[in-house]
Amino acid sequence: MKLDRDSYGSVALAWLIGIVLTVPVFLLFRSPWVRWPVFAIVLVLVLWQTLFFRVPRRHRAGGARSVVSVADGKVVIVEKVFEPKYLDRECIQISVYMNFFDVHANFWPVDGEVVYYQYYPGEHFLAFKPKASEENEHSCVGVRTPFGKEIVFKQLAGGFARRIVCYARKGLAVKGGEQCGIIKFGSRIDMYVPLDARICVKVGDQVRACETVLAEL
């Protein structure tokens, strides 16, 4: 199993806390009815934290004009909006909400070149709320495809997320399906595609990063 390269410290801290919580219980209590339930609970929590930071192997779906999902999760928004950060025009927003049990590694949605990147500090409202898109802490990335189409996506921190990792930098050549970062704990991805894109998902759909096509350009 591959772990996110920026999360080794978080995983190590989870295991350290697990050991610190478990060892005193084994030293202070002789009863197996105390020792082993505590051990089991701590082990489950530590393993969950470890799996949370995994980077699964995925095969990219679709073709050159397919926009694949950046993240695992549930589609919570599909609507026409005005994107002011980079595109400065109306487009279609597709938002995917990640809960605590979804893989939180993020992946490039298309092949192309990063033409815009900006980090925005902000609030930490629950990620499924509409105002989270503008007011929450987020990174915003614009990518231009080899055939000239431009898309934008945001990594939004949620009510519990406190760190966004994004590998984008202006001028970087990217390949759809490769890891582009990670958001730690519950969060959301907002994708903005051109109005003439064919949308392939609807609100309520469960999607998987790389393996679900959100739109065709």
pLDDT digits (tens, 9 = 90+) for 81-96: 999 889 999 999 999 9
Which residues lie below 8 Å from residue 4, measured CB to CB, with a gap of 6+? Answer: 53, 54, 55, 105, 165, 179, 182
SS3 of the chain: helix, strand, coil, percent, to 5:
20, 35, 40
Helices (H), the chain: 8-28, 32-52, 132-135
Domain spans of the chain, in order of start: 8-52, 66-216
User: Could you tell me the strand order of the sheet in which 198-199 lies?
Assistant: 66-68, 213-216, 198-199
Task: Say which residue the tokens 């500090």 belong to.
Answer: 121
User: What dotted CATH number matches 66-216?
Assistant: 2.70.70
Q: Cα(51)–Cα(129) distance, rounded to whole angstroms? A: 26
Divide the 217 residues of the chain into consecutive groups of 10 and give the mean pLDDT of each group.
73 86 88 88 85 82 94 94 92 91 89 94 58 70 95 81 81 94 82 96 95 96
Catalytic annotation, pick one of 7, 66, 133, 187: 187
Q: Is this model's pTM higher than 0.85 or not?
A: no
* Two structure tokens written together for 201: 């998902």
Q: Does the annotation count 69 as an active-site position? A: no
